[in-house]
Amino acid sequence: MAVKIRLARRGRKAHAMYDIVVADVRAPRDGRFIEKLGNYNPNTNPATIVLNEESALKWVMDGAQPTDTTRAILAYKGVMMKKHLQVGVNKGAITQEVADKRFAEWLKEKEAKVQAKLDGLSAEEATKAKARMDAETKVKEARTEAINKKATDAIAAVEAAEAAAKAEAEPAVEEVAEEVPATEAKEETPAEETKVEAPVAEAKEKAPVAEEAPKEEEKKAE
């Protein structure tokens, strides 16, 4: 029976995850499988891979054929490197100790590359986060400046309106102040004239009495 190591789709739409399985080549893609070796999540950066490396190596050594994607996954996890070294050991080209040493060196180098990539992603993410923060800060500052300017313009408009109203009110008060003495002067003038004319009228009334007195005395003399 020919078997393959392939992916079986899981997860929801637009957020797919995959199981790494050993299945009969005649079985449907997402159908029955012989053994599950792990899972693969391409939605993270870097992709998350969980793999039973011993079982995967056993199946590969037994002749299971991985698909292109699963081959890349097995190579990334070192399964294909182990297979290559184990074939050399089986043929007597190298000893098991040499194979283990070479694999340890390869694994160390691989981990250094992975860590460098993670550090680079972290630095890139930090740079993007800082850029987003700076952009948000600029937006907030611009918004605050616009609000302050609007408030300043409103205050200036109110002060200008008050100043204009005060300027219009001051001439009216001055005109009223100028008109009040003139009115009082007009009202006081008849009163003074009445005081002046009063003695004159009294004098006129007393004068005929003085003139009539001699006439009566003349009549008595006759």
Cβ atoms of residues 8 and 26 within 8 Å = no
Over residues 114-139, the mean pLDDT reads 85
Instruction: Show the tokens assigned to 45.
Output: 């950066």
- Position 43 in a domain: yes
User: Would residue 110 count as lying in a domain?
Assistant: no
Examine residue 107 and state whether it is found in any structural domain, yes or no: no
User: The domain containing residue 67 runs over which residues?
Assistant: 3-94
Confidence of residue 220 (pLDDT cuts 50, 70, 90): very low
Does residue 216 lie in a domain region? no
Residues β-bridged to residue 22: 5, 35
Question: Partners of 23 in the beta sheet?
Answer: 4
Mean pLDDT of 200-222: 48
> Which one is predicted more confidently, 69 or 190?
69
> With helix as H, strand as E and coil as C, how does 166-180 read?
HHHHHHHHHHHHHHH
Say yes or no to pLDDT of 101 above 80: yes
Range of weakest confidence among 22-31, 65-74, 148-157, 176-185:
176-185
Q: Is residue 16 one of the residues assigned to a domain?
A: yes
CA pseudo-torsion sign 66, 70, 75, 77: negative
Domain annotation covers residue 149: no
Query: How many domains does the chain divide into?
Result: 1
Place of tokens 């037994």: 62
Which CATH number covers residue 13?
Answer: 3.30.1320.10
Q: In angstroms, what CA-CA distances link 166 with 140, 154, 158, 161, 208? A: 39, 18, 12, 9, 66
Measured between alpha carbons, how far is residue 189 from residues 182, 183, 184, 185, 192 in Å? 11, 10, 9, 6, 5
Domain contains 158: no
Per residue in 17-44, pLDDT (tens digit) is 999 999 998 888 788 899 999 999 999 8
Does residue 62 belong to any structural domain of this protein? yes
